[in-house]
Amino acid sequence: MSHELPLTIKDAAAALRTGTLTSVELTTGILKKTSKLNEALGTYVTVTEESALEAATAADKAFAEGVDAGPLQGIPLAVKDIIATKDAPTTANSRVLDPEWGKGVDAPVVARLRGAGAVFVGKSTTSEFACGMPDPDKGFLIPRNSWNLDHTPGGSSAGTGNGVSAGLALGGLGTDTGGSVRFPAAMNGHTGLKVTFGRVPKNGVVPLGYTLDSVGPMARSAYDCALLLEVMAGYDPGDVYAAKVEVPAYTEALTGSVEGTRIGVPMPYFFDVDGLDDEVRAGVLAAVDVLKEAGAAVAETEIPYAKQAKVANSVTMAAEAYSYHRDNLVHRWTDYGCHTRITIGRGALFSAADYWQAQRFRTLFCRKVAEVFSSCDVIVTPTWAKPAPRSDEMSAESMIHSPSFTGPWNLTGLPAVAVPCGFSSSGLPISMQIVGKPFAEATVLRVADAYQRATDWHLRVPPIASQLDA
């Protein structure tokens, strides 16, 4: 079935308009795959089959009547289960969140996609409250890597990540506070965009780090992410952090050309830090060579204080998360998963002085990064230091001591896209990260799209999907 279904939103949208495929057929095919693979992959907490088929039927009816709401009409998507949807409960994969939270309401980002005719297949799994690691004792499905079930799918937008990779959705929503859109995209071999802070409204989303959180699109390709972002982006008065910035036509910016685009490659820390896998380093540098051959101007550069930026982002996230969860941690400590309560609880160990020092550093770091961008249009780094590790090797300690190539961009609020650029010798995806200036999503997506026109890493289908076909 899966090879009969389009891999990308772009191709599915074309098929819906030529009549070679209906939204009901597309949605039914994805629901069938979901019923067979969801238990193994742990993609969805809730599958909204009835409302999905209703939306698909409405999309087909609109097409028949000559009504076209845009390229997302009739496209099946996944929604991370910390984002409110009116047709399914929001749990944050936790026993702590009030069951009434967000009940019967669409978050603005969901309402916009629904208004564009999108079909929502279900609420996808996440790390509890978008942090920590899964706790099997709490009864939620454990998400797994689509390329190797023994390995982590990345977090916290794990379900959307492995679902897009395995074809259980053509795209979807994740949130990113320190890398939570980009980690799953990197580890499952597709594209994931962390948007500029304030670019997409985040009211109706359970918070983690108030000044770090963003809602971003996840899909196979940069083009598909651009399609999603055109609908998702824009001001909403319900989000005090939302930016009143014009939304460009992102897909029109994807010209296929990087001629003259200035790419900075920060070798210190990002390419020489202890813990960086040799295959990841080689894969990302090979991807930079592809862009150079396509006409980009590549030069080595340096991001001052990149190592310290991870610490500042971690302090900020822990302190802000603790401020949201403090009362529940006091009264319902054991209701939280064992990893989550420790991850959030350590925010209690930071003083107001620690938090404010992190913000002082943040101001300095933003200024230094802006100086780097005065001589380049984008910066390219690895997304993650290693291919996806085994799930039984993951620990809070390993995350604390690992280098972070993603957190610094949450600290600055800059846009960054994770793009697959190869596979390790063990068959796991490798990913590069393209970082841009504030609100320059069009630029990072253009560079990513140009790379994907020259390669096909983002179109590789994981073994579990192939086994289903057999």
Q: What are phi and psi of 204, to 5 degrees?
A: 80, 15
Q: Which two tokens stand for residue 395?
A: 């620990």
Q: Where does residue 256 fall: left (phi above 0), alpha (psi -120 to 50 degrees), or beta otherwise?
A: left
CA distance 443 to 264: 14
Instruction: Give Cα separations from 23 to 53, 220, 400, 443 (angstroms).
Output: 9, 19, 44, 31
Q: Is 71 helix (H, G, I), strand (E, B) or coil?
A: coil
Q: Which two tokens stand for residue 67?
A: 């009504």
Q: What are phi and psi of 213, to 5 degrees?
A: -65, 145
402 included as an active-site residue: no
Q: Is 422 helix (H, G, I), strand (E, B) or coil?
A: strand
Instruction: Give Cα separations from 156 to 123, 129, 183 (angstroms).
Output: 13, 9, 8
Nearest by Cα to 20 from 12, 9, 28, 8: 12
2 included as an active-site residue: no
CA distance 13 to 20: 11
Those residues with Cβ within 8 angstroms of residue 197's Cβ, 6 or more apart along the chain or in another chain: 211, 212, 214, 241, 243, 410, 413
Which residue spans within 353-413 are E strands per DSSP? 378-382
**Catalytic residue chosen out of the listed positions 33, 80, 123, 194:** 80
**Catalytic residue chosen out of the listed positions 165, 180, 221, 431:** 180
Residue 397, burial from CB neighbour count under 10 angstroms (0-12, 13-18, 19+) = exposed
Longest alpha-carbon distance in the chain: 62
156 included as an active-site residue: yes
**Catalytic residue chosen out of the listed positions 146, 156, 165, 404:** 156
Q: Report which DSSP code applies to 389.
A: P
Positions marked catalytic:
80, 156, 180
